[in-house]
Amino acid sequence: MAEQSDVLIIGGGVIGLTAAYFLAREQVKVEVVDQGDFGKEASWAGAGIIPPGDPSKARDPFDQLRAHSSVLFPKVSAELREQTGIDNGYRRCGGLVFHDDKESYFEREWRSEGVRFEEVEGAALKRLEPALSSDLMCAYVLPDLAQVRNPWHLKALESYCRGRGARLRSGCPIFGFERQGSRITGVRTHDGLLRADRYLLTAGAWTGGLLEQLGWRPGIRPVRGQIALLNTRTPIFHRVLLKGKRYLVPRADGRVLVGSTEEDVGFDKQTTADAIQGLTAFAISVVPELAHAYLERSWAGLRPGSPDGLPFIGPIPGIDNLFIAAGHFRAGIQLSPATGLILKELFLGQPLTVSLEGFRLDRKTS
């Protein structure tokens, strides 16, 4: 029989693997199980945009989580590269946020948080990114916005965890829990019964189904996001371009990620012609030269949405040794470092970098 783990993590996406990374650094015996391949669901499908933030000025819990993650990302990336030899593609490329009104929500939020930004218009905007459409007249420049290559980052996390002795089981669906009173005593899986001192539920959009077995229905649901990958062979712009909920993310090899849709279609991960056509039309409207790029790939991921847009992080009430970190929606990658850090702090009884009060499973979400 395999040695019992200190922590069994159910779900091997970026949240689960990042929690395993922080725990493994502290010599905690960790096991991670996933119904499929590690990191191949919503974590793999995203664009890897890392917004800037200042933890000392971030006000609400979500912004604190984002700001701490922004500060942690370069440190985590450097350690992953040093320990595994895998470059996760993290780089501070800067970004442009396009807007229609002269003063906006963005200005107020960035100013209050101390985020560096500058508004540029007309010729100055074209000098920054000559390939932009002439229809785009003004934008905010965010010099500290960064990006990471999601697949590379997930491979680095997986490699690091294995190197630190974590047990990783892919292709291992969870069927249910064994419980005695207020404690989980085991998890029934494809590979048999797995036991641990404590359990962490990080199964993304599939978390809700597992929670229902325990009497919880917090409203975590799958939200499909479709993405198109264009290839220009050589880069024609260099900053991340954001307009509303859509974006263009330029990679150094000439590829451009174009995203993303938000669709409530259940657990359907198929791409649709209409959505991909809409994304490519958006890309061309922002950077006309992309009309000559070729469509290399398209895919979809199922993001774990929550009723109020905030993730659920912390203990599951009524169960002493079961915890949750799910419902990060579109922000799984960008919130993962701070989420993993505070889970490690929670398990080891350390002071929490970010309060979990706003992320409680039993909070009012409507």
Local confidence pLDDT in tens for the 366 residues of the chain: 457 999 999 999 999 999 999 999 999 999 999 999 998 888 888 899 999 999 999 988 999 999 999 999 999 999 999 999 999 999 999 999 998 665 566 788 888 888 999 999 999 999 999 999 999 999 999 999 999 999 999 999 999 999 999 999 999 999 999 999 999 999 999 889 999 999 999 999 999 999 999 999 999 999 999 999 999 999 999 999 999 999 999 999 999 999 999 999 999 999 999 999 999 999 999 999 999 999 999 999 999 999 999 999 999 999 999 999 999 999 999 999 999 999 999 999 999 999 999 999 999 987
User: Tell me, what's the pLDDT at 1?
Assistant: 47
At residue 260, the 3 state secondary structure works out as: coil
User: Tell me, what's the pLDDT at 112?
Assistant: 86
Percent of the chain with pLDDT over 90: 90
Tens of pLDDT, residue by residue over 218-253, are 999 999 999 999 999 999 999 999 999 999 999 999
CA torsion angle for 42, 48, 52, 54 (degrees, to 10)? 50
Report helix, strand and coil shares of the chain as percent, to nearest 5: 35, 30, 40
0.75 surpassed by pTM: yes
Domain ranges of the chain: 5-87+150-220+308-359, 95-143+221-305
CATH annotation of 5-87+150-220+308-359: 3.50.50.60
Q: Cα–Cα distance between 305 and 310 in angstroms, integer?
A: 8
At residue 99, the 3 state secondary structure works out as: coil
User: Tell me, what's the pLDDT at 97?
Assistant: 96
CATH architecture classification, 95-143+221-305? 2-Layer Sandwich (3.30)
**302, 356, 354: which is closest to 329 by C-alpha?**
302
Task: Supply the DSSP string of 284-302, one letter for each residue.
Answer: HHH-GGGGGSEEEEEEEEE
**334, 145, 136: which is closest to 243 by C-alpha?**
136
